[in-house]
Each structure stands twice: as structure tokens, then as C-alpha cells.
Chains A and B, each alone.
Chain A
Amino acid sequence: MHEVSLMQETLAIALARAAEERAQRIHRITMRVGPLSGAVPEALEFAFDVVAHGTIAEGARFEIEPTSIICYCPKCALEFTPADLFCECPRCKEPSADVRCGRELELVSLEVS
């Protein structure tokens, strides 16, 4: 359950950005969470409610933009989106060691006023 640590980091970035914008309130937080990021979206949302308490982000809408895994198979020279976390090439069925997308864990945007 490292989602609390992750949300503390996220909130710190959000609050710093909101301060730059001289915002009084954060109404929405949008994150991008890849399937290989190691973070669970539901746990992030739960952690957000806890860490945002008493800050200008309290009560903000929490949104996650889902992303897909993209792998590359050197044998088939093929970039593909695997069906699951095992990342097997749809053509030769070999597991790919070259994961090009899917590990991202980002704060994408804020809605502030």
C-alpha cells in the first residue's frame, strides 16, 4: 500500500502548481496511471481523499486517464498492445522484454479557480 506515499507526492506537486497559478481551490485532479506503474487506481483514489483532507484540494474530483501497455517484439518487428501483463507478442507468442509504454504515473492536469 504505497499509494498513500504516491498521493502525498502527487498532492505536493498539485499544491505547488496551484500556488504558482495563485489558485484558491483545486476542483479536479487528473492522473495517468499505466497498468505496469505498480499503483492501483482504486487505492490511489482512496489515498487521495485521506491526504487531501484540510487542503485546497479537499473534495476535488479525482480522475484517472487509463493507458495501455505498448510492447515491441524485435523478432517480428512489431509494436503491439498486449492482452494482459504478460506482454506476449500476438504473432510469435514470445514474451516481450521491450515495454515502451504502460509504466507511467503522472499528474496530468488540474482544474483550479
Chain B
Amino acid sequence: MCKDCGCGKDQPHAHEAAHETGQRTVAVRKAVLSKNDQLAERNRAGFAAKGLLVVNVLSSPGSGKTTFLERMATDLRGRVRFGVIVGDLATDLDAERLRKCDVPAVQICTGSTCHLDAEMVAAAMAKLPLDDLDVLVIENVGNLVCPASYDLGEHVRVVLISVTEGEDKPLKYPVIFKTAHVVVVNKMDIAMSAGFDRETALSNIRRVASQGRILEVSARTGQGMDGWYEYLEGYRQRNPT
């Protein structure tokens, strides 16, 4: 095939004729993620119909997303009914951990895909008893880049970092931090031994995510988690379903 015009000829040849046949410009002006965005809106409408508050949790691998959810399960037992959709490239280890805490959890194994999209969430939510839930938490694939671009239909987006990741993380990944409603700094219980420079970290977060609420917690010890529960409760009161 000719590389220049894509015709069937193998030998190089003149292309004036191809141009005369009328190459023309066609306007498209369509968002690349428009299909995902439409599905996300559909998810959001579905969540609204069930009176569900939906939270998308994003972080690097190992920041403590699942531990954060386990802590929620322990603290909110009997007060808030919540379920989890969790994404990883492989295994259902995280969903297993959450089921042990009596949280209905569905694992999405993305294979090689580095993020969750609205379609995967739509398929997973059908497997959860949504009518029996108040809050649905989506634990995204551990990655501070790709998940930022995909609206899943959530109401609240939480970006979580931990004290061992370095104070400059927000500066290195500004795009995802700019989409956060809440930035959670996790593992505060080991901040001292990790040599965590709290002031610098908070100032860096404010620099890239001035729109977001900052919460300092330890999901392991439970320190600071009340601030998160108050945020959730406040959100539900401001947006009654």
C-alpha cells in the first residue's frame, strides 16, 4: 500500500490526482471522553434515584486506600451503610479485605487498564445491593495520573497521599490534585519517623488544590477520621436526596 495516499499501488507515484479528488476538512469538535462522560451522567442519575452519595478515592499504590475504607467500616458500623467498588489490575484481595469488615464489595480487575471508567462502574454497581446503601465508595486503581481524566459519576472526589510519599507529590501530579474535593494525608501516625515535613506538604497541597478540603488522618489508628465523617455528613445534609 502507498504510505502517502493509502492507495493500493506499491511503487512510488505522483499524488496530484489524489488531491484533485477532493480532500476536504470535516469539523468534528467532540470531546474524546464524551461517551464516558455520558455514561458517568447516567451513573450519577442512577445514584441519585437511589439516594446514594458516591465517593471516588484516588491515590498512588500503597497510600492506604483500602485501610482507609476498613477504618470507615469499623467506625461507621450501624450508622452509615456503605458498599465498595474496588479496582485493581489483578486479584480480588482488596474486596476480600473489605468483605471481612462486613462491607459489600465488588472487585473490578482491569487487566492492563490503569484506571476505572464509567462503564466498568455501571457493570459493577449492578452487583451491589444499592437499595440497602447510603454511601458507595469507589476505590480507583492506584495511580495518580490516568484516573484523573475519567468521571465515574461520583459526587465527591478524594485524593489520598501518605506521609512516606514525599512532600512534593502534589507538585508533581497537579492535574489530579486539581480535581479533588478532599485531599487526605494518611499515615500521620508515622509522620515523625518518616521525617514528614508537614508544613511544606500542606503548603504544596494548597498550592495545587486550593479548591479542596485538607484532612490529616491515620487510617490505621483512626486519628483524624472524624473530620472525614463530618465532611460526608455535611455533604449529605447540604445535598439531601
Contacts and interface: CB of A to CB of B under 8 A. Distances in A.
A109 B148 contact: no
Interface string B9-38: 000000000100111111111111111100
B29 A2 contact: no
Given A104-B31, A109-B28, A111-B23, A37 B149 contact: yes
A41 interface: no
B145 A2 contact: yes
Contacts, number: 107
Nearest to B146: A2
B215 interface: no
Nearest to A106: B31
Most chain B CB atoms below 10 A, which of A10, A39, A88: A39
Interface stretch (B76-84, B157-165, B204-212): B204-212
Contacts of A13: 28, 30, 32, 34
Interface in A58-107: 58-59, 85-88, 94-97, 99, 104-107
B30 A107 contact: yes
Interface residues of A, number: 42
A6 B31 CA distance: 10
Contact of A25 (B5, B33, B35, B145): B5
Given A25-B5, A28-B25, A105-B149, 19 more contacts: A2-B113, A2-B145, A5-B115, A6-B149, A9-B35, A13-B28, A17-B28, A25-B6, A38-B145, A58-B6, A87-B178, A95-B206, A105-B31, A106-B31, A109-B26, A109-B27, A109-B28, A110-B25, A113-B22
Interface of B: 3-6, 18, 21-36, 113-115, 117, 145-146, 148-149, 171, 174-176, 178, 206-208, 210-211
